[in-house]
Amino acid sequence: MVAPVRAEEDMAAASTSSYRHNFSSSVPPVCPYCNKASFYSPRDLERHIRIHTGEKPYKCPHCDYCARLKAHMKSHLLRKHEGMLNNANISVVSSSEPHHS
């Protein structure tokens, strides 16, 4: 895991469930872990932060696999469960209990 760049108190605000940046401000959004600043939307920053936190909120309905991105879950379903994507209900694990698989 990469060491955070900002103070410890700022890390609580960086979780994907609570961190929101005002994209209308003149200051570009910056990842609190690595200082990356090229995000097009708040959702992009939230997904990026999962790289650092290890959060994998998408749970496979057929096995124990969890994914960081919904697109990764769709690929998993197509590869491992032979096209069960159409019948699958891709659930999101509660942010109070992040899944780290």
Helix, strand, coil percentages for the chain (3-state, nearest 5): 35, 5, 60
Shortest CA distance to 85 belongs to which of 70, 101, 99?
Answer: 70
d(Cα 38, Cα 29) in Å, to the nearest integer? 8
Does residue 47 share a domain with residue 15? yes
Number of domains in the chain: 2
Asked if the structure places residue 101 within a domain, the reply is no
Asked if the structure places residue 2 within a domain, the reply is no
Beta strands 66-67 and 58-59 are antiparallel
Identity of the residue numbered 34: C
Domain that holds residue 72: 58-92
Going residue by residue through the chain, which has 101 residues, state the pLDDT in tens, using 9 for 90 and above: 454 444 434 444 444 444 444 455 566 789 999 999 888 888 899 999 999 999 999 999 999 999 999 999 999 998 998 867 666 667 677 544 445 55
Query: Rounded to two decimals, what is the model's pTM?
Result: 0.60
Q: Is the dihedral of CA 101, 60, 16, 48 positive or negative?
A: positive
